[in-house]
Amino acid sequence: MRQVTGRALWVGHAGDLRDAHRVLGAAVAAVVELSDSEPFADLARDLVRCRFPLSDGGDNPPWLLRLAAQSVAAFLRAGVPVLVSCSAGMSRSLCIAAAGIALAEGTPIVEALAIVSGGGPADVSPGLFAQMLSAAGET
């Protein structure tokens, strides 16, 4: 779990969600889960939770991608500390966090992805990223 510089935004993986002390210690108030294969995380009851079962293959419904990105953007605009998590924390979480920043700050998704991935490992699926660009009208 790592914080995106200058933002109340963290990106992480499924293992991070199993460490409630770490999530709560970061003062995270909302969690956006993006895994399509992980079991539901056992989170504190006072955390807001959204779950969007996305795949890396680029075969997600465009409305689901937009809804996930819009949810992250809404948390960012409201100043709600949010953790965006997928299975490994290197593709879906980065892509949707970047799209959320793009919507909240008016930044192109490609630039937002550089911001999000600048602090650690990244392995964004080209199919997923192309689909996100298309869903956002940035192709």
Superfamily name with CATH number, domain 2-135:
Protein tyrosine phosphatase superfamily (3.90.190.10)
pLDDT at 139 (0 to 100): 65
Kindly indicate the confidence band of residue 129, based on its pLDDT and cuts at 50, 70 and 90.
Answer: very high
Q: Where are the domains of the chain?
A: 2-135
Contact 101, 32 (CB under 8 A): no
Which tokens is 72 given? Answer: 């992250």
Q: What is the dihedral of CA 126, 57, 74, 44, to 10 degrees?
A: -120
pLDDT digits (tens, 9 = 90+) for 36-80: 777 777 787 889 999 999 999 878 999 999 999 999 999 999 999
Residue type, 103: L
The 3-state DSSP class for residue 38 equals: coil
Q: What pLDDT was estimated at residue 111?
A: 95
pLDDT average, residue stretch 3-27: 88
